[in-house]
């Protein structure tokens, strides 16, 4: 039976040539195919395809050579200057939805996408008699190979699905590649993000009534706490697939200077005339005049800075802020909730869950989390 070809990545022509040269030096045959954009009749990149049996070796070569690492100056020479979007996946339907939104956004802001999957290799204790330890080690290696085979099949299935959707026009043809990492998902995602330096991380999550069984939802919460990179959390029932379908954003504000920085970062992704920003402040006491003055002031400031965007404000006074916010979100047809979060230590994260973590597990609305 012929060894079928699988997609390894879609890169710019220069990067594709470099990767092809490296792989062929390791006796891995590479087929390069131009990926055209049907709408503009231009090349969207070059697809590199290899034999399925060569996939584990190819991934090992890419990782061991540290190819295209943004900690290496050479990467910037071959880089096309595009922004980067990182999409952690667990091969679920909501991960595919996150991919679709990331691909559509990548086309809009002329970015490229890196898909990352982190798999866990169970730890086996070795405090055994020598004879048993050898037998145990053999079992461990066999189990690990099974894990690798399953992960490689899953990532290729995802890439095949993406390629089919690109061919059908459901996904735009943009540069994308993927990487597999072994370890704890939240730690490996954050570590990789530090090196890859994406403009945005996009992660899928389940709906609020299924979050208790959602592994990547809890991983998303940890990544939010551990990284300073903007992160968009996409529940599986998210209504939009394209950022131009986003009409209403609730931007939670406490009138801090960090909010100004976060707002500017958010507008890099949502600066189109169709969107309306609702500056939202929540407090558990009766509204005083000073709060209204601050809200009006920050609204006036943003209206001057972003004259093409419709901006208003909403003041919520309630002892149950999450319930009241949910009611406002439903009434105002909010598509995304944006908020600024601060980095917190482990003790605080354990005993005082952040607003973003609470909302992640109690809401079906996408969260856009920024670190001001």
CA–CA gap between residue 229 and residue 24 (Å, rounded): 35
* Intervals of the chain under pLDDT 70: 1-2, 36-44, 66-80, 122-142, 144, 207-217, 285-288, 342-362, 372
Domain membership of residue 39 (yes or no) is no
Asked if 209 and 323 sit in the same domain, the reply is no
CA–CA gap between residue 189 and residue 118 (Å, rounded): 8
> Which of 169, 201, 235 finishes a domain?
235
Asked if 197 and 333 sit in the same domain, the reply is no
Asked if 62 and 211 sit in the same domain, the reply is yes
Domain CATH number, residue 306:
3.40.50.620
Asked if 122 and 221 sit in the same domain, the reply is yes
* Number of domains the chain is built from: 2
The SS3 of residue 309 is: coil
Residue-level pLDDT at 133: 46
Tokens, residue 344: 């917190």
> Which of 215, 235, 255 finishes a domain?
235
Asked if 225 and 355 sit in the same domain, the reply is no
Q: Which single residue is written with the structure tokens 């969260």?
A: 367
Asked if 221 and 268 sit in the same domain, the reply is no
Asked if 77 and 224 sit in the same domain, the reply is yes
Domain membership of residue 137 (yes or no) is yes
Sign of CA dihedral 83, 43, 163, 11: negative
Residue-level pLDDT at 257: 79
Neighbours of 328 (CB within 10 A): 18
Residues 28-60 as b or e (16 or more Cβ within 10 Å = b)? bebeeeebeeeeeeeebbbbbbbbeebbeebbe
| Cβ(234)–Cβ(366) below 8 Å | yes
* Bridge partners (DSSP) listed for residue 44: none
Residue-level pLDDT at 190: 94
pTM of the model as a whole: 0.78
Residue-level pLDDT at 237: 82
Residue-level pLDDT at 276: 93
| Cβ(176)–Cβ(115) below 8 Å | yes
Domain membership of residue 257 (yes or no) is yes
Residue-level pLDDT at 208: 53
Asked if 209 and 284 sit in the same domain, the reply is no
Asked if 256 and 362 sit in the same domain, the reply is yes
CA–CA gap between residue 308 and residue 119 (Å, rounded): 44
Domain membership of residue 152 (yes or no) is yes
Strands 176-182, 111-119: pairing is parallel
> In terms of residue numbers, what domain contains 259?
243-370
Asked if 350 and 324 sit in the same domain, the reply is yes
Domain membership of residue 22 (yes or no) is no
CA–CA gap between residue 259 and residue 372 (Å, rounded): 6
Residue-level pLDDT at 331: 93
Asked if 361 and 328 sit in the same domain, the reply is yes
> Which of 176, 208, 235 finishes a domain?
235
pLDDT digits 0-9 by tens, 236-289? 888 888 888 899 999 998 888 788 889 999 998 987 788 999 999 888 766 667
Asked if 224 and 320 sit in the same domain, the reply is no
Neighbours of 341 (CB within 10 A): 21
Domain membership of residue 350 (yes or no) is yes
Q: Which single residue is written with the structure tokens 């704890």?
A: 184
Backbone dihedral region of 45: left (phi > 0), alpha (psi from -120 to 50 degrees) or beta? left
Of the candidates 63, 77, 87, 108, the one whose C-alpha atom is nearest the C-alpha of residue 15 is: 77
């Amino acid at each position: 039976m012929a060894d079928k070809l699988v997609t390894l990545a879609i890169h710019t022509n220069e990067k594709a040539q470099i990767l092809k040269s490296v792989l062929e030096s390791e006796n891995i045959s590479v087929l390069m195919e131009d990926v055209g954009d049907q709408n503009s009749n231009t090349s969207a990149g070059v697809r590199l395809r290899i034999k399925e049996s060569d996939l584990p070796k190819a991934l090992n070569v890419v990782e061991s050579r540290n190819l295209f690492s943004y900690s290496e100056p050479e990467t910037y020479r071959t880089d096309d200057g595009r922004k980067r979007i990182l999409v952690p996946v667990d091969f679920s339907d909501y991960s595919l939805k996150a991919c679709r939104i990331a691909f559509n956004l990548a086309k809009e802001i002329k970015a490229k996408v890196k898909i990352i999957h982190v798999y866990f290799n169970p730890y086996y204790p070795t405090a055994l008699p020598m004879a048993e330890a050898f037998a145990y080690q053999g079992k461990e290696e066999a189990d690990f190979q099974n894990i690798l085979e399953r992960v490689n099949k899953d990532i290729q299935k995802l890439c095949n699905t993406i390629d089919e959707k690109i061919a059908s026009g459901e996904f735009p043809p943009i540069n994308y590649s993927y990487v597999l990492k072994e370890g704890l998902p939240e730690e490996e995602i954050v570590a990789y993000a530090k090196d890859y330096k994406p403009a945005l991380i996009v992660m899928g999550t389940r709906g609020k009534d299924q979050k208790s069984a959602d592994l990547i939802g809890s991983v998303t919460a940890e990544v939010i706490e551990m990284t300073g990179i903007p992160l968009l959390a996409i529940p599986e029932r998210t209504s939009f697939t394209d950022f131009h379908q986003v009409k209403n954003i609730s931007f939670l504000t406490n009138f801090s200077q960090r909010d100004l920085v976060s707002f500017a970062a958010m507008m890099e992704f949502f600066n189109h005339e169709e969107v309306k920003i609702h500056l939202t402040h929540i407090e558990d006491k009766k509204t005083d005049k000073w709060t209204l003055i601050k809200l009006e002031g920050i609204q006036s400031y943003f209206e001057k800075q972003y004259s093409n965007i419709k901006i208003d404000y909403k003041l919520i006074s309630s002892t149950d802020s999450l319930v009241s916010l949910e009611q406002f979100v439903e009434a105002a047809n909010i598509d995304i909730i944006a908020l600024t979060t601060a980095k917190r230590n482990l003790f605080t994260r354990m005993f005082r869950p952040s607003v973003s973590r609470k909302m992640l597990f109690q809401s079906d609305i996408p969260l856009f989390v920024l670190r001001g």
